[in-house]
Amino acid sequence: MKMIRVHVFIFGDVIGVGFRAWISHRAKNLGLTGWVRNAPVGIVEAVFEGPKEKVEEMIELCRKGPEVSWVEKIETKWEEATGEFISFDIRV
């Protein structure tokens, strides 16, 4: 199965609303690896690796976010999958 990787930048009211934990939970449920963090510029940044359909599903979930958040927009940057991750982590 071909693995893909995407780097996602999520803009809006996404800091201090549990967005990282929400992403981590959903990414793990989809079997994805990678990481999520609050970026210094007030956005949430994440890297997802896994099967194409699962990564695409995760991107769609990120467009909505948890109920207490408001997602203005997301930007995606497709990259080569490296297989470097063994789990999905929250970074600080």
- Would you list the DSSP string of 26-80? HHHHTT-EEEEEE-TTS-EEEEEEEEHHHHHHHHHHHHH--TT-EEEEEEEEEE-
Sequence spans of domains, the chain? 3-90
Is residue 29 annotated as a catalytic residue, yes or no? no
Residue 92 has pLDDT above 90, yes or no: no
Is the separation of the CB atoms in 89 and 12 below 8 Å?
Answer: no
What does the pLDDT look like over 43-79, one tens digit per residue? Answer: 999 999 999 999 999 999 999 999 999 999 999 999 9
Which of 20, 26, 29, 63 is catalytic? The answer is 20
Q: In which band, very low, low, confident or very high, does the pLDDT at 4 lie, cut at 50, 70 and 90?
A: very high
DSSP state of 2: -
**24-31: average pLDDT:** 98
DSSP state of 9: E
Which of 29, 37, 38, 63 is catalytic? The answer is 38
| Partners of residue 67 on adjacent β-strands | none
**15-37: average pLDDT:** 97
Phi, psi of 58 (to 5 degrees): -65, -40
- Joined together, the tokens standing for residue 18 give 């549990």
- CATH code of domain 3-90: 3.30.70.100
Distance between CA atoms of residues 19 and 79, nearest Å: 23
